Amino acid sequence: MSDLPLWLAVLPLIGVGLWAWRRWHHPSFWLLVGFPITAVSVRASWRRIALGCGLTKKRQRWWFTTVPGLVASTGIVKVKRRFQRVAVDTKPFMWLPLPTRHGWRVTVHTLEGQTPGDYADAAERLAHSWGVHAIRVSSPGPGRVVLAATMRDPLVTVDQLPPSTDLLKVTVGRLETGKPWVIDFRTVPHWLNAGATQSGKSNLANALIVGLSPQPVALVGIDLKGGVEFTPYAPRLSALATCRDEAGRLLDDLVALMLDRMGVCRQASARNVWQLPPVLRPVPVVVLVDELAELYLMADKSEKDEIAKTSTALLRVAQLGRAFGIYLFCCGQRIGSDLGPGVTALRAQCSGRICHRVNDPETATMTLGDLDPAALASARAIPAETPGVAIVAGQDGQWYRARSFYVSEQTAEHAAHTHAHLTSPWAEITAHLPEQANA
């Protein structure tokens, strides 16, 4: 009894110490304390959770049963044993969970007739059963499913990461896995970025301006909002088009530039500009397009030919530009099939997909519809109070929730002025092209 006051004094100190450990050294606390407890709980609860989520199967098994019988003359009870077939619930085999930065993951062997889609359909029920933020399902091989649990949403706050030093590679945010969100134009050359007003679409373009400005690349802007978005960054832009007519002429220049580089590669027996000797390799060109729908909207039939010409030029750049160092990053609030077949054809060439919060399901379907249906559902669930959150088609073929860093217009404008000396004048880039291309 004399030790009770001492324990009453020590227990609060232990609690404060554990709270401080978890608060300021969360990774070590999670690995040494949180994860072992979680791993035991996951393994212990797997049978009943699999049953509740419909992931078990009925199987017929043989069991020994005892059948008592009474011999009347002697009053002796005789026991007979025989086989009997009974139906039992069989759960999928689960390996030991492994820790991750923001949770844990575990490999499960599927039962006969099960597919990864069965687990994807049950992902939300699994997350609620285990009390975690989310469960992501992937399949590394036949008969195996990986359940990746996120204990808390890692995208609530996103800290700035060091910029990438690789050419045409920009770190713009963080993925839900905790890894950097990197846009690599060398790996994924063309991107489609959809998002409503205040969804983070323009912030992502600002992040690209900041990331690409110090690199030896030519930046070209097509701002169909009258130039209000990209004009402040004009010192770092080699060319800027602010209306459809200017955009058409600029795209004609890009097509001519692409054909010229094609001839250079053919003469040097190179398949692309990256196989050319450094002295012959031209400067890479990144084209930033804002308000993509304005290129396809038609007020009357007199604009039909102009739209068709502009759409064809943009599509040609998307089809052939990668090999010749020309890359696209197309942004828009509204991207739908009703804008015409040109948009659908352009989408097929843009393997990079980013979908922020959108106002209509058609835009989300146009951006992510040919990917996993779960990605489409996740895009429609992005709340308005989380600007910068988007669904991203990763370079590994998977899709992820991601959030870009906040980059203000002032920061992007400062980067454009600071690195203005790296700007290649458009007249210099296109000086050797035919006169009709520069007209």
With respect to residue 4, please indicate whether it lies within any of the assigned structural domains: no
According to the model, what pLDDT value does residue 3 have?
64
Query: What residues form DSSP beta bridges with 173?
Result: 181, 404
Least confident of 23-32, 224-233, 312-321: 23-32
Dist CA 176 CA 3 (whole Å): 48
| Cβ atoms of 82 and 27 closer than 8 Å | no
Q: Which of 90, 113, 136 is the last residue of a domain?
A: 90
**Domain co-membership, 143 together with 174:** no
CA 33 to chain centroid, in Å, comes to: 31
67 or 169, which is more confident: 169
If one counts every other C-beta atom within 10 angstroms of the C-beta of residue 395, the result is 13
Phi/psi for 111 (5° steps) reads -85, 170
What's the whole-model pTM score?
Answer: 0.81
- Give the orientation angle of helix 341-349 with respect to helix 361-368, to 10 degrees: 40
**Domain co-membership, 282 together with 395:** yes
**Domain co-membership, 86 together with 100:** no
With respect to residue 8, please indicate whether it lies within any of the assigned structural domains: no
pLDDT of 246 strictly over 50? yes
Average pLDDT over residues 295-308: 83
Q: pLDDT grade, residue 86 (50/70/90)?
A: very low
Residue 97 sits in which domain range?
93-152
According to the model, what pLDDT value does residue 72 have?
52
**Domain co-membership, 173 together with 230:** yes
Residues sharing a CB contact under 8 Å with residue 228, sequence separation 6 or more, in sequence order? none
| Cβ atoms of 218 and 286 closer than 8 Å | yes
Dist CA 432 CA 429 (whole Å): 8
Q: Any idea what the CATH number is for the domain that residue 406 is in?
A: 3.40.50.300
Average pLDDT over residues 38-59: 89
Query: What residues form DSSP beta bridges with 61?
Result: 86
Q: pLDDT grade, residue 438 (50/70/90)?
A: very low
Cα of first residue to Cα of last residue in the chain, in angstroms, is 97
With respect to residue 26, please indicate whether it lies within any of the assigned structural domains: no
Q: What is the dihedral of CA 20, 26, 32, 33, to 10 degrees?
A: 60
Query: What residues form DSSP beta bridges with 290?
Result: 223
**Domain co-membership, 197 together with 79:** no
With respect to residue 44, please indicate whether it lies within any of the assigned structural domains: no
pLDDT of 131 strictly over 50? yes
With respect to residue 39, please indicate whether it lies within any of the assigned structural domains: no
- Give the orientation angle of helix 201-212 with respect to helix 409-418, to 10 degrees: 20
If one counts every other C-beta atom within 10 angstroms of the C-beta of residue 322, the result is 20
CA dihedral sign, ordered 422, 425, 428, 434: positive
According to the model, what pLDDT value does residue 2 have?
58
According to the model, what pLDDT value does residue 272 have?
94
pLDDT of 374 strictly over 60? yes
* Paired tokens of 436: 């009709």
With respect to residue 385, please indicate whether it lies within any of the assigned structural domains: yes
According to the model, what pLDDT value does residue 439 have?
42
CA 156 to chain centroid, in Å, comes to: 16
Residues placed in the known binding site for ATP: 195-202
**Domain co-membership, 117 together with 79:** no
**Domain co-membership, 313 together with 398:** yes
According to the model, what pLDDT value does residue 164 have?
81
**Domain co-membership, 132 together with 264:** no
79 or 376, which is more confident: 376
According to the model, what pLDDT value does residue 157 have?
80
Residues placed in the known binding site: 195-202
With respect to residue 5, please indicate whether it lies within any of the assigned structural domains: no
According to the model, what pLDDT value does residue 283 have?
95
324 or 165, which is more confident: 324
If one counts every other C-beta atom within 10 angstroms of the C-beta of residue 164, the result is 17
Tell me the range of 152-156, 229-233, 343-347 where mean pLDDT is highest. Answer: 229-233
Tokens 């489409």 belong to 376
What beta strand segments (E) does 320-398 contain? 326-332, 352-355, 389-393
* Count of all residues that appear for the chain in the document: 439
Dist CA 353 CA 191 (whole Å): 6
Q: pLDDT grade, residue 437 (50/70/90)?
A: very low
With respect to residue 9, please indicate whether it lies within any of the assigned structural domains: no
Q: What is the pLDDT of residues 52-62, one digit of tens each?
A: 998 988 766 55
* Paired tokens of 332: 């828009």
According to the model, what pLDDT value does residue 299 have?
75
**Domain co-membership, 202 together with 127:** no
| Cβ atoms of 437 and 430 closer than 8 Å | yes
Q: What is the dihedral of CA 312, 318, 323, 329, to 10 degrees?
A: 140
| Cβ atoms of 236 and 419 closer than 8 Å | yes
pLDDT of 107 strictly over 90? yes
Phi/psi for 15 (5° steps) reads -60, -45
pLDDT of 357 strictly over 70? yes
| Cβ atoms of 316 and 258 closer than 8 Å | yes
DSSP helix/strand/coil, 226: coil
79 or 94, which is more confident: 94
**Domain co-membership, 142 together with 257:** no
Dist CA 164 CA 367 (whole Å): 27
**Domain co-membership, 118 together with 244:** no
DSSP helix/strand/coil, 22: helix
Q: What is the pLDDT of residues 276-298, one digit of tens each?
A: 999 999 999 999 999 998 988 88
The mean pLDDT of the chain is: 85
Domains: count for the chain: 3
According to the model, what pLDDT value does residue 26 have?
61
